[in-house]
Amino acid sequence: MKRLAKSLWCIMATMLMLVVAMPMPIEAKTKKGSLKVIGTAIQNNKVIIKINVKLPDDDYYFVYTDISRIENGKQVTFNNTAYQIEEGGTYEDDMTYYIDQTGLYEFDYVLTDNYDSYGHSYSYLYGYDKVYLYITKESGTYSIANYGHDPYANLTSKDKKNIKKQLTMFFKYVKNYNVGGIKSCVKTDRKNSYINERSAQQFIRKANKKRLLYKINSVNVSGNTAKVRMDVTCYNSCYAVKNALQKQLTSMVKTRKLNYSKMISDMNRFYRKDITYEWYPTTIKLIKVKGKWKIKKMTGDLQFITNCGMIDALEYFSEHPGALLFD
């Protein structure tokens, strides 16, 4: 019975939205009015939607509002409200109270003169407009972006396609060790996530181009977040770093300095015969930022994959120099 009641409510809500969306006939009415959404903004962490209203005459009228959140082409929440106006002009509609979750929202506005507060319905339509917005919240701060697509299309398949495209671009940057490109795909970086020394970058680039392989196993989308299960195989430079540092051990004790260019040269010689790989069955989390998918943060796994473990190896041997004394 509960499932049946829920189904009936969904049907009624859908029918109500269809009624709102249709330009209803005004029958014997000859009066004309208009309503138009003219802007959206963030003010004091509140979503503000500006509408311009032209009333048919000096009588009292209502602005009726439907607010719905959309996931995968379906309405998952439904709210409505109305307020009375008696003169035309520009109004700011504060929607913060109704935004209980981030995601894609549809705002429908209706100008009418006969609003039933009990049945949440109206009789005559003088003006109608709607807007779709992505609403996000990061560190307590709201942000919004207009959504220019049909939200009732299959959002999941479209998002999955865009996510795969974004990850393909990310791994293209990784193979070329394009630091700027990698950063453009990641929302939040780790501290000291990248190697900037040119010869070391060339080593990473060579290793990644030849030995980095990846496979996307599944993509799960939930609103403006996604999880991607992947298998990634990459070169592990740990033994190349260790071998190169061991060759400099005596000179480092004397000078307390590392000859970086010699280390990379020794690593290149070791790399030619080294077949050390690392397999990462990993889950990458993504988030939609202003309509574009980005990797949520540079995790330890992703850092290892992007620079074939060089940062991890250098940090380990700097903290455990005694490990260089043993093969």
The residue extents of the domains of the chain are: 2-146, 155-325
Cβ atoms within 10 Å, residue 130 = 13
What is the pTM for the complete model shown?
0.55
> If you search the block for the tokens 């043993």, which residue do you land on?
326
Q: Among candidates 130, 133, 79, which has minimal Cα distance to 109?
A: 130
Q: In what order do the strands lie in the sheet with 74-85?
A: 74-85, 61-71, 103-112, 127-138, 141-146
> If you search the block for the tokens 């077949």, which residue do you land on?
275
The percentage of residues in the chain with a pLDDT greater than 70, rounded to a whole number, is 81
Mean pLDDT across the chain: 79
The model's pLDDT over 53-75, given as tens digits with 9 standing for 90+, comes to 988 888 888 888 888 888 766 67
Confidence at 153, pLDDT banded by 50, 70, 90: low
- DSSP calls for 255-296: H----HHHHHHHHHHHHTT---EEEEEEEEEEEEETTEEEEE
Residues 251-255, mean pLDDT to the nearest whole number: 75
Q: Among candidates 179, 183, 200, 174, which has minimal Cα distance to 311?
A: 200
Confidence at 236, pLDDT banded by 50, 70, 90: very high
Domains 2-146 and 155-325 alike in fold: no
State residue 297's pLDDT score.
93
- Of 57 and 9, which is predicted with more confidence? 57
What is 2-146's CATH number? 2.60.40.2550
Question: Which residues have a Cβ under 8 Å from the Cβ of 314 and sit 6 or more positions away?
Answer: 241
- In single-letter form, the type of residue at position 140 comes to G
Residue 2 to residue 22: CA distance in whole angstroms: 30
- Of 182 and 76, which is predicted with more confidence? 182
- Of 24 and 120, which is predicted with more confidence? 120
Q: Is 37 helix (H, G, I), strand (E, B) or coil?
A: strand
Residue 125 to residue 33: CA distance in whole angstroms: 9
Q: Which CATH architecture has domain 155-325?
A: Roll (3.10)
The model's pLDDT over 194-221, given as tens digits with 9 standing for 90+, comes to 999 899 999 999 999 999 999 898 888 8
Q: Is 227 helix (H, G, I), strand (E, B) or coil?
A: strand
> Is pLDDT above 50 for 24?
no
